Amino acid sequence: MQSAALRFRAVIFFLTLICVSASLYSVSFYWRDRKHFTEWHAHASVSKDTTVAVDTAVNVDKSVSFGQIIPQEWEWVTSHNLTYPLRYSSRAITARRVPGLRRASLTKCEAPLFENFHTVESVLDVKVSPAQVLELEVPAFKKAPVKASHLIFGIQTTIKRLEDSVPQLARWIAYTDAKLYVVLLEAEGVPVNTDRLVGLETSMRSQGFDVTLFPAHEGDTFPQRYFSLVNIMYQHRTPLTRWVSLIDDDTFFPSMHALLAMLDKYDSGEQYYIGSLSEDWWAVQHYGFMGFGGAGVFLSLPLAEVVDAHTDVCKDNLRSSAGDITVMDCIYTHTPTKLTPVSDLHQADMHGDLSGFYECGRHHLSLHHWKDGSVFGKGLPMADMHLVSDVCGECFLQRWQFGDDMLLTNAFSITTYPKGHLKSGDPNQVNMDKLEETWNSNMNMRHSLGPTRPRLVLEEEKIQYSFLNATVYNGGVRQLYFHKGINGDLDTLLELVWKEAGLE
């Protein structure tokens, strides 16, 4: 009996030792995460050289549970082919509209963005607790689609590129009553298939587009097709039409409300040529003081009338293969009107990693070249990125700083700065009003993007959790941000669940 009792005690001791070891491992993993993400409880002071707002109305509501993600709802996450185990944390955010509040370049918050981190071993091992709710103030905004029946947009492209662009175009032009005319080819030198054109037009109209698709005129070159859009839009004007706009298939307007507010500053009864220069001064010097097409070019109706009247002579006397140059030449040859530059319209002529451009906190009226690449080596999922604007209006790409280490650029990235670049008074602190030069080329951009600052070293000075995807969820929007682990570290998945305040 004594021998049996001793064996029993030995078993109990052994099991206790295992439990203690497991607990110590969990604690060590927890504190490793806490060290990496910090708790950020200290309130950062307002820097004199940064346009910031301090969000004094940040509240943590532990009773609200809309941010809870249950295992059955993890399927959307698993569709991204993640590698397990991975680190995961989530936060639920309510966006409270505040009348009169202006969108700041940077808003500093006392509360941490993330508190608890979990290790997800596999799809079958998902145990995610309810996310505590953080309330952020945003400028008041209108939920109803803007009415833009006085605007006509024109695009010339291939039918495949237009098909790919429909979800992004729908985010800003669908159900606005703005008209869209598109000149199409199947491919360069190949006429578009008529059945395919009709099918796409029908599909787009069912999605809220007031759209008409045209086959390109046989024999027209690229600049001639582009220039013909002015003639098409002017000939299809209505009594309401005040502006016609030439854009590319990858031109994106984050806020039609903001775009119309910009145009309302100008008298559409006068001749106006509105657009933006290239960010690259070399391009301006070589191509001219003109509206670069990808940023969006806007002609008032009186100016469009003059261009239309000179269609034949302008279309047949080309000095360039670029359509926007042809439009500039026609305007400068036949009218005294000169470009009215609007710097918030963006051609985005940089190459490589444009993180610094998207993370700068400035208000962009237009974005361009989002199809060409990102930190993932592929086009940005612009339609998914923009979903959050349904919940918080002008908050798309808005920045919030949490403590002295973490920055959220809404729908683009979450970044941490382990060497003090965000910390007030730190020798390494950078001026966040300056745009980080993350792109490849050594371009002169002071006229357009200045002031700028040198790029930080990724994984050393700056750790970037890039936007992965978003989806509509429970009356709000779920966002995923992802960081690939290096040197044996686990991959990290961060989730934000956005909802309007008062709609829980």
Q: Are strands 297-300 and 399-402 parallel, antiparallel or unpaired?
A: unpaired
Q: Which residues contact 172 (CB under 8 A, 6 or more apart)?
A: 252, 253, 254, 255, 256, 386
Q: Could you read off the pLDDT of 291-335 as tens digits, one per residue?
A: 999 999 999 999 999 999 999 899 888 888 798 999 999 999 999
Considering only CA atoms, which of 245, 481, 439, 412 is closest in space to residue 342?
245
H or E, element range at 301: helix 301-309
pTM listed for this prediction: 0.85
Within a 10 A sphere around the Cβ of 299, how many other Cβ atoms?
29
Query: Is the pLDDT higher at 56 or at 223?
Result: 223
- The Cα-based distances of 194 to 165, 200, 201, 390 in angstroms read 19, 10, 11, 36
The single-letter DSSP state of residue 73 is G
Residues 136 and 94 sit within 8 Å (Cβ to Cβ) = yes
Find how far residue 56's CA is from the centre of its chain.
26
Measured distance CA(338)–CA(277) in Å, rounded: 13
Over range 374-403, report the average pLDDT: 88
Q: Could you read off the pLDDT of 248-287 as tens digits, one per residue?
A: 999 999 999 999 999 999 999 999 999 999 888 888 888 8
pLDDT category of residue 8 using cuts at 50, 70 and 90: very low
Residues 412 and 398 sit within 8 Å (Cβ to Cβ) = no
pLDDT of residue 28: 40
Over range 168-193, report the average pLDDT: 95
Tell whether the model's pLDDT for residue 68 goes beyond 70: no
pLDDT of residue 132: 72
Which one-letter amino acid corresponds to residue 96? R
Terminal CA-to-CA distance of the chain, rounded, Å? 63
Q: Which residues contact 246 (CB under 8 A, 6 or more apart)?
A: 153, 154, 155, 226, 229, 230, 293, 296, 297, 299, 323, 324, 327
Over range 158-174, report the average pLDDT: 96
Q: Could you read off the pLDDT of 98-127 as tens digits, one per residue?
A: 999 999 999 999 889 998 888 888 766 555
Q: What is the mean pLDDT of the chain?
A: 84
Over range 201-230, report the average pLDDT: 94
Measured distance CA(429)–CA(92) in Å, rounded: 29
pLDDT of residue 370: 87
Tell whether the model's pLDDT for residue 59 goes beyond 70: no
Considering only CA atoms, which of 240, 270, 261 is closest in space to residue 150?
240
pLDDT of residue 129: 54
Which of 320-329, 368-377, 380-389 has the weakest average pLDDT? Answer: 368-377
The single-letter DSSP state of residue 394 is G
